[in-house]
Amino acid sequence: AQTVTQSQPEMSVQEAETVTLSCTYDTSESDYYLFWYKQPPSRQMILVIRQEAYKQQNATENRFSVNFQKAAKSFSLKISDSQLGDAAMYFCAYRAGTYKYIFGTGTRLKVLA
């Protein structure tokens, strides 16, 4: 069975600094997608970034980038130039052919002014 593990329940970062959130997963599939979602206090799930497993190039979206290590089954999120608005819960998620999402337990990110 597929699993997603986020080992950091909480992280803090100083405003304008860089922080990396960790995620590992386990699967026997070769074709899948990985995601990072942000959940602010409003509870609305917001897609931050997506990575297709067949793509070797790491995805980037403005200040957000990932380090995708397929062999190690690792998918970390780097947030550069952290802003106060980045404070939220961040969930790593996996999706394969059934389209079902499997979410990690989440990392609460605090941004310090």
Partner 1 sequence: GAVVSQHPSWVICKSGTSVKIECRSLDFQATTMFWYRQFPKQSLMLMATSNEGSKATYEQGVEKDKFLINHASLTLSTLTVTSAHPEDSSFYICSARIPSGSNEQFFGPGTRLTVL
Q: Which is nearer to partner 1, 3 or 69 (CB)?
A: 3
Q: Tokens 């304008």 — which residue?
A: 16
Round to whole Å and give the CA distance between 21 and 107. 7
Q: What DSSP state is assigned to residue 86? A: G
Q: Locate 87 and state its tokens.
A: 């404070």
Q: How far is the CB of 47 from partner 1 (least distance, A)?
A: 8
Q: Smaller CB distance to partner 1: residue 7 or 105?
A: 105
Q: What tokens appear for 88 in the block? A: 């939220």
Among 87, 88, 12, which Cα is nearest to 43's?
A: 88
Among 23, 75, 106, 111, binds partner 1 (CB under 8 A): 106
CB of 5 to partner 1, least distance (A): 11
Is 103 an interacting residue with respect to partner 1 (CB under 8 A)?
Answer: yes
Q: In the chain, count H helices and then E strands.
A: 0, 12
Of 2 and 80, CB closest to partner 1: 2
Q: What does the per-residue mask of binding to partner 1 show for 16-55, with x meaning CB under 8 A?
A: -----------------x---x----xxxx-x--x-----
